[in-house]
């Protein structure tokens, strides 16, 4: 199985997050951490804001609900939608945490 097929659920989360950003949600990037067995369960989705103060103003609850709605519409399994974990962080926090690789470990 190639990696695109194995991580199809995580790639769907990435795609839905990109659509949210295009629709005006105020985050500059995203990080999706998949379940490494390829299942859609317990995927973590991070909304990355530009600065610490913008993370404080980011409406994580609204973004999470919009993301879950997009995932449902795209055929993401309902039980996995309920297990989706979301968080918000900022570029500032990521850099202070040693960069992207270390921060998301």
Task: Identify the helix (H) or strand (E) that includes residue 6.
Answer: helix 3-6
Question: What is d(CA 70, CA 19) in angstroms, rounded to the nearest whole number?
Answer: 9
pLDDT tens digits along 68-77: 999 999 999 9
Does residue 105 have a pLDDT over 90? no
Question: What is d(CA 16, CA 26) in angstroms, rounded to the nearest whole number?
Answer: 14
Domains of the chain and CATH, by start: 3-103 (3.30.300)
Torsion of CA 21, 86, 67, 31, to 10 degrees: 40
CA triple 89-27-10, angle to 5 deg: 80
Six-digit token pair at 19?
């659509």
pLDDT value for 53: 81
Does residue 2 have a pLDDT over 70? no
pLDDT tens digits along 71-99: 999 999 999 999 999 999 999 999 999 99
pLDDT tens digits along 27-82: 999 999 998 898 999 999 999 999 878 778 899 999 999 999 999 999 999 999 99
């Amino acid at each position: 199985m190639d990696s695109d097929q194995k991580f199809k659920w995580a790639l769907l989360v990435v795609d839905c997050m990109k659509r949210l950003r295009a629709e005006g949600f105020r985050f500059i990037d995203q990080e999706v951490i998949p379940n490494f067995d390829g299942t859609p369960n317990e995927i973590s989705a991070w909304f990355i804001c530009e600065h610490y103060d913008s993370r404080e103003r980011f409406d994580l609850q609204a973004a999470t609900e919009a993301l879950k709605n997009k995932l449902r519409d795209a055929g993401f399994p309902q039980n996995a939608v309920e297990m989706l974990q979301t968080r918000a962080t900022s570029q500032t926090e990521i850099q202070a945490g040693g960069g992207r690789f270390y921060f998301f470990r």
